[in-house]
Amino acid sequence: MNDRAEFTAGLMKALPSLRAFAISLSGRAERADDLVQDTLMRAWAHADSFQPGTNLNAWLFTILRNLFHSEYRKRRREVQDEDGVYAARLSVQASQEAHLDVQDFRLALETLPPDQREALLLVGASGFSYEETAEICQCAVGTIKSRVNRARTKLAQILAVDGPEELAQDARSRSLTTR
């Protein structure tokens, strides 16, 4: 009973970060809330398989990610088509505007392949270590490091984030020619 109360409190506390992760993965707030709701229900139904004292957030993120991917597989083609449109629009934007705000970052994030996006979100935003992220994504630590690196490189190209102007110019033309 006490464990269960603690478990509920843990779920409540995890809500904002679960939701932020869900929105980042799915790109749409409504679908993200459904994803969080399904995650909560599944977590509740399988509460017995959670070991108290271990990382509740990592456990919850694993559930959410698995739910997302089982749904994502069905929509793969549709999503990839959207990505193409975003990418085309973005490279034009990047060459026209020097300053790109949060909204632009969101669009850039959506152009990343899902495996790279989730790795970057887990490591760079959700505060998980490479090891925890590898467990959540059920793959090797080296794979996660590689995905995060690719994600950063691609974002830097799309957003034309570079030091000197010369390099920024180079990144822009590269992001245009690689499409």
Partner 1 sequence: MTQKQSRADSDNLEDEIQIDEHIQRRIGAKLRAYYDELLNEPIPERLIELLVKLDEKERKEGKS
Q: Does residue 161 bind partner 1 (CB under 8 A)?
A: yes
As a whole number of Å, the end-to-end CA separation of the chain is: 56
Write down the number of H helices and E strands in the chain. 8, 0
Task: Check residue 163 and report its DSSP letter.
Answer: S
Q: Which of residues 106-125 bind partner 1 (CB under 8 A)?
A: 106, 109, 120-121, 124-125
Chosen residue from 28, 85, 105, 131 binding partner 1 by CB under 8 A:
105
Tell me if residue 75 falls in helix, strand or coil. helix
Q: Position 18: which residue type?
A: L
User: Quick one: which H or E segment has residue 18?
Assistant: helix 2-26
Chosen residue from 84, 129, 144, 163 binding partner 1 by CB under 8 A:
163
Chosen residue from 49, 54, 78, 102 binding partner 1 by CB under 8 A:
102
Place of tokens 């505007």: 97
Q: Does residue 149 bind partner 1 (CB under 8 A)?
A: yes
> How far is it, in rounded angstroms, from Cα 83 to Cα 107?
9
Q: Does residue 150 bind partner 1 (CB under 8 A)?
A: yes
> How far is it, in rounded angstroms, from Cα 143 to Cα 130?
10
Q: Smallest distance from the beta carbon of 121 to partner 1, in angstroms?
A: 8
Contact letters (x/-) for partner 1, 33-72, by CB under 8 A?
x--xx--xx--x----------------------------
Q: Which of residues 70-99 bind partner 1 (CB under 8 A)?
A: none
Chosen residue from 139, 141, 156, 176 binding partner 1 by CB under 8 A:
156
